[in-house]
Amino acid sequence: MEPLERLLKLVALLLNAPRPLTFDEIRDEMGAYTQDDRDVAKRQFERDKDDLRRIGIPIETGGTDVYEVEVGYHIPKERYYLPEISFTPEEIAALFIAAHAPGPYEEAAQAFGKLARDADTAVISGLVDRRVPGLDDSSVNVMDAADAVARRRLVRFAYRPTGGEVSDREVDAWGLVCSRGAWYLVGRDRSAEDVRSFRLSRIVEGLEDAGDAEAPPERFDARDRLRSGPWGVGEPQTTATVAFSPKVAWWARDQAPGSTVVETRADGWTVLEVPASTDESFLGWVRAFGPDAELLAPEDLRRWLAGSLEEIRASL
């Protein structure tokens, strides 16, 4: 009997069994595991059982009668069957794109195949030929970190901070954040006794399970813990007026969410009102446009910017 046939028959039998079946009953019913040496046969059965469990088939053991003298095997239907989740056609389309995007996490396609069972035939047929956007995520340890967070584990790993020395950390895995294409594990660093974020690409080798994690504080939001780099316009505190050359004005508008056009000047420059922070992150953003931007107001920010440009010129 082909292994595929044997395994399928085993699943069908145990799924339909009204009560747990002993190994001998399974052997008689299936006509498999019939080697002369019962131990050899039993070992093959054990291997099959473990193999099926690894693909998520819930083979359980239980007493075969009320006296529970003999142990038998069965697959409880309620633990086998995927409960129905109803998705809208738009949601199915979005999941299809995520699942079939060329890139890592290949198990996603199979997950989608299972969920697609309950979708409309026409919806799926309309999707399968689509050319979906790809995903380039070469981060390592993402699945392990996600699993640790899902199961609230304490994890141990060697971490190399930017430019720093590698050191061992023990972290309560509380959250995982994907920001600008990079993954961060957020949790309590036991040696620092503080909540920290760890970029997964800076974890040397893998994550090691170190026991149960402590519960996160109430209303813990992993995103709060992630320091964002000073690459945007910063947290808006005021509105600044900035003129941009025709070359970069459209680009500046895209970069600054919430900005509005005040006017297009006779010289072709566009004047924008931009929600801005009153710190270095906004000034740095304007400076990066070089001579293609001029901060017009407020006056104190303008003076501050000019001062910072002078300092930079002097330092170069």
Partner 1 sequence: MPPSKVARRIERLLAIVPYVIRHPGTTLEELGRLFDVDPRSLTKDLNLLFVTGLPPYDPGNLIEVDIEDGRVWIGMADYFQRPVRLTPAEALALYLKGTVFLGAQGLSEADALRSALDKLKEHLGETLGGLQIEAGEGKPSGPLDAVRGAVERRETLEIDYYSASRDEVTTRRIDPEHVFSALGNWYAVAWDHLRDGERLFRIDRIREARRTGDPFEPRGLAGAGRPLYTPTGRDVAVRLRLGPRARWVAEYYEVDDEQEVDGGLEVTLPTPDLAWVAKLVLRVGTDVEVLDPPELRETARAMAEEALARYA
210 to 269, contacts with partner 1 by CB under 8 A? Answer: 216, 220-223, 226, 228-232, 247-248, 250-251, 254-255, 257
3-state SS, residue 75: coil
Identify which of residues 205 and 311 has a Cβ nearer to partner 1 in the complex: 311
What's the min distance (Å) between Cβ of 37 and partner 1? Answer: 22
Identify which of residues 170 and 259 has a Cβ nearer to partner 1 in the complex: 259
Count other C-beta atoms under 10 Å from residue 248's C-beta. 16
Looking up tokens 């970029």 gives 199
Is 206:224 a contact under the CB 8 Å cutoff? no
Among 37, 39, 69, 163, binds partner 1 (CB under 8 A): 163
What's the min distance (Å) between Cβ of 98 and partner 1? Answer: 4
Identify which of residues 108 and 210 has a Cβ nearer to partner 1 in the complex: 108
Write out the two tokens for 253: 């508008």
Stretch that binds partner 1, among 34-42, 55-63, 66-74, 204-212 (CB under 8 A): 55-63
Identify which of residues 35 and 88 has a Cβ nearer to partner 1 in the complex: 88
Cβ neighbourhood burial of 171 (10 Å; 0-12, 13-18, 19+): buried
Asked if 19 touches partner 1 (CB under 8 A), the answer is no
Count of residues engaged in binding partner 1, rule: CB under 8 A: 132
How many Å apart are CA 77 and CA 58, to the nearest integer? 9
Largest distance between two CA atoms of the chain? 96
What are the residues whose beta carbons fall under 8 Å from the beta carbon of 84, sequence distance 6 or more?
118
Cβ neighbourhood burial of 148 (10 Å; 0-12, 13-18, 19+): buried
Identify which of residues 68 and 181 has a Cβ nearer to partner 1 in the complex: 181
What's the min distance (Å) between Cβ of 281 and partner 1? Answer: 9
Looking up tokens 């056009």 gives 261
Among 175, 188, 270, 301, binds partner 1 (CB under 8 A): 175
